[in-house]
Amino acid sequence: MREVFQQSLQEVQERLVGIAELVEESITQATAAFGNSDVALAENVLDDAEQIGELTLALDELAIDILARQQPVASDLRLVVGALRMGASLQRMGDLAEHIAQLSRYRYPESAIPKGLSKTFARMGELDVQMAKLVVQLLSTQDPAVIDAIRDLDDDLDELHAKVFEKVLSDKLANNPMGVVDATLASRYHERFGDYAVSVAKQMRYFLVGELA
């Protein structure tokens, strides 16, 4: 019985890593699709988001099944409860990657990136991809040092988010309301993606240290 239990906890952890890897792939492709107006790549991201949704649902079912049958306590309970929450955050990250990819589809064959903002969005995308990689690393290794690394990248992302608004409100984009809409949404999506990575990091801290925050 104990062995079955340990196996199912390991299954939870492996599935979380698998979903996080798919999120990493999604945001990598979404950033490329957005940067290069690559519609075929954007379609991939849409498929990934659907798959991430299904995998998260299956993980929820596994977690609830473990709670019902095996009634875990202490750090085992924290892992299972954490999986329910981390799954939800990973799913939102997949949705946001999808939203970023969608912007490039809506504007195709035009670019969704307004004048003067290509570098900023490329950098935001890089930060999101790095954060997704760190989330995979954190879930695989359970190394608490990764938690701080994720928070640091999120601070950089927030700074870029503020910069986008400065640029958008400067002269360059006057008379281009569509560019302003796209830049506002894209920046918001990137920033929220980072917030959810931080939220996964907080949940892992809860699992490792036992403190909610």
Closest to its own copies by CB, 32 or 197: 197
From 15-23, 24-32, 149-157, 166-174, give the range in contact with its own copies by CB under 8 A: 166-174
From 12-20, 32-40, 66-74, 137-145, give the range in contact with its own copies by CB under 8 A: 66-74
160 sits near its own copies (criterion: CB under 8 A): no
93 sits near its own copies (criterion: CB under 8 A): no
Closest to its own copies by CB, 82 or 125: 82
Contact assessment for residue 22 and residue 48, using Cβ atoms and an 8 Å cutoff: yes
105 sits near its own copies (criterion: CB under 8 A): no
Closest to its own copies by CB, 132 or 173: 173
Tokens of 137: 């690393």
From 16-24, 30-38, 136-144, 169-177, give the range in contact with its own copies by CB under 8 A: 169-177
Query: Least Å distance between CB 31 and its own copies?
Result: 20
How far, in Å, CA of 93 to CA of 78, rounded? 22
How far, in Å, CA of 16 to CA of 91, rounded? 11
Query: Least Å distance between CB 32 and its own copies?
Result: 24
Query: Least Å distance between CB 60 and its own copies?
Result: 6
| Angle, CA 188 vertex, CA 28 and CA 126 arms, to 5° | 30
Query: Least Å distance between CB 150 and its own copies?
Result: 19
Q: 């019902």: which residue's tokens? A: 68
**Of 17, 88, 122, 149, the one binding its own copies by CB under 8 A:** 88
| Angle, CA 83 vertex, CA 79 and CA 84 arms, to 5° | 125
Chain residues binding its own copies by CB under 8 A are: 57, 60-61, 64, 67-68, 71, 73-74, 77-78, 81, 84-85, 88, 165, 168-169, 173-175, 177-178, 180-181, 184-185, 188, 212-213
